[in-house]
Amino acid sequence: MDLSMLKWTGHASFLLKLNAKNVYIDPFDIRGTREHADVILITHPHSDHLSEADIKLIADNRTKVFVPMDSVGKIPAGSVTGVEPNKHYSHEGVEFDTVPAYNVVENRVHYHPKESGWVGYVLDINGTKIYHAGDTDLIGEMSKIVTGLALLPMGGTYVMDVDEAIKASAAIRAEKVAPMHYRRLLGKEGSKNAEERFLKGVKNGIILDETDEPRYSF
């Protein structure tokens, strides 16, 4: 497949370099990585996922931005398209499906309500897929996902804790599963412990490095 690079730029933010295009997912707190964005995918409007300041750093009038319907007016640059769950979208060779992303655990359902229509993304890259789950709990829709790499939020409070992320990893049919969205919440020692538990519980689990250099490629 023609995927040369995946960069975890921190938190739930990634840069995919594919088919000669830069595709960002939830760009937030971008530091060294400020390459021009051809496509930006936003999962939901919380400020650590929809960061207007970061979008301004990488987007211009050539950039295509996909964002949930309730947040179309919040995008400060680029050509904007609103998305809904369970739809297929494409833009100049970039193909992806949206999947629901929401909380079901009682004490956090208000953080990411299902009725908001927020999403995760499954990108199709020449037959191999990458699933970015957005902010979500373990939900029934995950059992339908078949992917090369699954990126799952972990950390508790707003999204799944480690045990829930382990269960979600088992529900998804993925070649590899990597956690995200936890290091800011858990700190250095907490993150290390969470990673160790995750790897012990997920036989196909991997830990990505936050970096400006390529760390995971197909």
Locate the domains of the chain by residue range.
Answer: 3-201
Dist. CA 208–CA 218, nearest whole Å: 14
Give the mean model confidence (pLDDT) for residues 203-218.
Answer: 68
Mean pLDDT value of segment 138-146: 96
User: Which pTM was predicted?
Assistant: 0.93
Residue 211 pLDDT: 58
* Residue 9, φ and ψ in degrees, nearest 5: -90, 10
pLDDT band at 3 (very low <50, low <70, confident <90, very high): very low
Q: Residue 56 belongs to what H/E stretch? A: helix 52-58
Domain 3-201: which topology? Answer: Metallo-beta-lactamase; Chain A (3.60.15)
Checking if the pLDDT of 215 tops 70, the result is no
- Say how many C-beta atoms besides its own lie within 10 A of residue 24's C-beta: 28
For residue 5, the surrounding DSSP H or E stretch is strand 3-10
Mean pLDDT of the region 154-182: 95
- Quick one: pLDDT at residue 137? 97
| Confidence at residue 7, expressed as pLDDT on a 0 to 100 scale | 87
pLDDT digits (tens, 9 = 90+) for 76-89: 999 999 999 999 99
> Does the pLDDT at position 217 exceed 60?
no
